[in-house]
Structure 1
């Protein structure tokens, strides 16, 4: 059924409920409604979750980004505190709107992405970013001595498959911030790359490798407790985005997306050098 064009809340009493849909970056899609029973539409069952409500939705007619926030209690089985802490909902997409729970007529009031998700005690709140935020992107790239292109992304032209490796977990550090892997390239080659958990309690989650410390890979977020050795992981090599690495390691200097020899702002403050 196409979205309704009716005027909502034009009558004293209406059979209207709120719906919202969350699509995590790992592909899991969850639907919820403020109605007292589940509602199925758009190929998804929206589970009743009266404790979760959008606290505010603001729409604008200009280019200013719309704003919204959703808050509630951690009472639904699909919203687990461990998943929030692990970042499974960070960066996912969200849509919310109104639905007539008798006819299933519906309208979308807000669509965007999930920013930071926080929780205090038994509650949680999520920062939502409107799709209008895309209009705020810088179209003209800024000059920089390092490469602006994402490694193996647009502009880089290198194949991601050539730098992606299956491996198994050898060990997790006591604080959960670092891991060691077996069946992989050197840790130095993996710095600034990514680690994706294939199975185990964090299956589907991708972590950024911030640095290599000897044979250890330092992750951007601590791992869950109890991940056993032998857990399958996928490792993507990284790049420090310098011209030297691009040329010597990847032989890809022709596609370098930076200006390593462009003088910086400090050029005007330098003292002149006397020539002999």
Structure 2
């Protein structure tokens, strides 16, 4: 029998020794397991801990394409979910799977919910996480935008450019950090100023490891160091000496794709598309309308 059939057979017996269990997988691959049972449970290669104080409201499910949703609540503890991790955004968009499981025999279980974390609030030593079902993804607009700038992200499948190629990234320690959005580097002379503008900064070590941000500005500072500013501050505090990776920037223009990256074959924009004003141009009054020369 399948796991679900085993659970149903157990429930048909009239004695239900069931509990709920949740697995939370962050985008960096870290997995957390929780259960509302009074002892730990283990299955699917995950240990579901009972000492986290996690609870959840009743799951609201609907037929059709309506979005299933629920909410999970729990205490913030150093051994489970830490407040600084939530503040840093490490749980944003994390995948969530919920089971109904026979705690006396975990082979009897059934997935009741699969989705991701939406809005996440914290305060007074606890957190409240909105859980959104898989049908929430169907509400996102899809399709291709026809525009002059490239619609791909540098290094993604559409772009196809390898951002780990020599000359297009830098890894090294940061010498100073201001307001978690302005980074200074001792020597980036091999890269011309502006090379990393519109690129990405990724923190590789320290308290902010795994966090990243889009680069707004890349310029020489008054003290001769290289200054990299982000559009938004990181949600954790890097320290001087932390290792950082800088990835070259792309302004989405056809000329940049051709001259800076030599990747014009994968350009995802339409550089020859007419401007918006072209739509409002009146038809010509010339007698010759064949498209040939007027001479």
Distance of 2:83 and 2:50 partners within structure 1: 19
User: Cα gap change, 1:10/1:146 in structure 2, threshold over 3 Å: closer, same or farther?
Assistant: farther
* Mapped contact 1:189–1:237 kept (Cα < 8 A): yes
User: Cα gap change, 1:128/1:263 in structure 2, threshold over 3 Å: closer, same or farther?
Assistant: farther
Three-state SS of the structure 2 residue aligned to 1:133 is helix
For residue 224 of structure 1, the aligned residue among 207, 217, 236 is: 236
1:251 aligned residue: 262
User: Cα gap change, 1:50/1:25 in structure 2, threshold over 3 Å: closer, same or farther?
Assistant: closer
* C-alpha displacement of 1:129: 3.2
For residue 170 of structure 1, the aligned residue among 161, 175, 186 is: 175
1:39-71 Cα deviation digits (max 9, x unpaired): 111111111146322224223332333223222
TM-score (norm: length of structure 1)? 0.85
* Mapped contact 1:187–1:212 kept (Cα < 8 A): no
* Mapped contact 2:52–2:80 kept (Cα < 8 A): no
Q: Compare 5-14 and 44-53 and name the one that shifted more.
A: 5-14
Structure showing greater radius of gyration is 2
Number of residues of Structure 1 aligned to a counterpart in Structure 2: 272
Q: In the alignment, does 2:214 pair up with 1:193?
A: no
* C-alpha displacement of 1:186: 4.7
> Gapped runs of 5+ residues in structure 2?
220-225, 287-295
User: Cα gap change, 1:41/1:62 in structure 2, threshold over 3 Å: closer, same or farther?
Assistant: same
User: Cα gap change, 1:161/1:222 in structure 2, threshold over 3 Å: closer, same or farther?
Assistant: closer
Structure with greater strand share of residues: 1
Three-state SS of the structure 2 residue aligned to 1:241 is coil
* Mapped contact 1:178–1:222 kept (Cα < 8 A): no
> Gapped runs of 5+ residues in structure 1?
none
For residue 143 of structure 1, the aligned residue among 146, 163, 167 is: 146
2:3 aligned residue: 3
1:129 aligned residue: 132
User: Cα gap change, 1:250/1:106 in structure 2, threshold over 3 Å: closer, same or farther?
Assistant: same
2:250 aligned residue: 239
1:207 aligned residue: 212
Q: Compare 142-151 and 46-55 and name the one that shifted more.
A: 46-55
User: Cα gap change, 1:128/1:146 in structure 2, threshold over 3 Å: closer, same or farther?
Assistant: farther
Three-state SS of the structure 1 residue aligned to 2:4 is coil
1:148-206 Cα deviation digits (max 9, x unpaired): 11211112121121133321111101x22221234554562222322222221122x23
Report the RMSD for the aligned CA atoms in angstroms: 2.9
Distance of 2:272 and 2:70 partners within structure 1: 44
* Mapped contact 1:55–1:69 kept (Cα < 8 A): yes
Three-state SS of the structure 1 residue aligned to 2:85 is helix
Q: Compare 148-157 and 77-86 and name the one that shifted more.
A: 148-157
Distance of 2:14 and 2:175 partners within structure 1: 64
Distance of 2:71 and 2:253 partners within structure 1: 39
* C-alpha displacement of 1:273: 10
